[in-house]
Amino acid sequence: MTDVMIEAQGVTKNFGDLEVLKGIDLTIPKGSVTCIIGPSGSGKSTFLRCINQLETLDGGYILVEGQPVGVKIRKGRLHAQNHAEAARMRENIGMVFQGFNLFPHMTVLENICEAPVRVKKESRKAVQDRARVLLERVGLSEKVHAYPASLSGGQQQRVAIARALAMEPRLMLFDEPTSALDPELVGEVLDVMRKLADGGMTMIVVTHEIGFAREVGDHLIFMDGGGIVEQGDPRTVLREPRHERTKQFLAKVI
């Protein structure tokens, strides 16, 4: 067994003539929290989407627990993954977005149970029991039968986290999970994420919450212009950024 969750080497991604990722090298150990900061348009979301196979790579590779994303090795040769193989890999990865993206016509419980029942074909009863435990963990036991529209943004995002966890992922990706929230609701979502980290979940978190990165992150990455400009221990990077671009960015967000 390897203790590496993700290994990325030379990852490139273009949209037409636009080079969005210009060679990302990264290793993410299991059980770690990696925070990614950087200006808008620097490629943070695209990188997460590549890990989760919502985008295809143009160069380099990403291994998730040793398995190459997007390709399959058969008889010593590389083949494009078929749909089912890609879906199976994605089942192990939970993703939480800036917009909560709950199904509006379903209750909280139905939102959480939908994917495990439909995709993993688990029994509804077993999934519902797990969903109730998850709702307790995110502090929303009393909202089991509520509809998303009746919840605050912070509550909706906590449901979205519980929904991702219901698939029992081995890796959680967060793309600016608190950016759409009113300031007074940010803390409750970060608290849930902090507990998840304390429980040993491997997490990659794109965020502007520098305090979270400092206190919860094991590793901090600063991206700009499609590349990693600087990375390291969060406290060190935040206290003594080595690159001018990192300094300028931090001066704006802190």
Least Cβ distance, residue 176 to ligand ADP (angstroms)? 8
145 binds, among Mg ion, ligand ADP, none (CB under 5 to 8 A by kind): none
Site string for Mg ion, 36-75 (x = CB under 5 A): --------xx------------------------------
**Burial group, residue 76, by CB count within 10 angstroms (0-12, 13-18, 19+):** exposed
DSSP labels, 120-182: S---HHHHHHHHHHHHHHTT-GGGTT--GGGS-HHHHHHHHHHHHHTT--SEEEEESTTTTS-
Least Cβ distance, residue 44 to ligand ADP (angstroms)? 3
Contacts of 78 (CB under 8 A, 6+ apart): 68, 71, 72
43 binds, among ligand ADP, Mg ion, none (CB under 5 to 8 A by kind): ligand ADP
Q: How far apart are CA 16 and CA 31, in angstroms?
A: 36
Length of the chain as a residue count: 254
Q: Which is nearer to ligand ADP, 188 or 224 (CB)?
A: 224
Least Cβ distance, residue 195 to Mg ion (angstroms)? 24
Q: What angle do CA 191, 47, 232 make, to 5 degrees?
A: 65
**Which letter does DSSP use for residue 240 in this model?**
S
Contacts of 74 (CB under 8 A, 6+ apart): none
Question: Which residues in the 5-24 window bind ligand ADP by CB under 6 A?
Answer: 15, 18, 20
15 binds, among Mg ion, ligand ADP, none (CB under 5 to 8 A by kind): ligand ADP
Q: Which of 10, 41, 66, 211 binds ligand ADP (CB under 6 A)?
A: 41
**Burial group, residue 86, by CB count within 10 angstroms (0-12, 13-18, 19+):** middle
Q: Which is nearer to ligand ADP, 14 or 152 (CB)?
A: 14
Q: Which is nearer to Mg ion, 20 or 165 (CB)?
A: 20
Least Cβ distance, residue 21 to ligand ADP (angstroms)? 8
| Contacts with ligand ADP, residue ranges (CB under 6 A) | 15, 18, 20, 38, 40-46
Q: Which residues bind Mg ion (CB under 5 A)?
A: 44-45
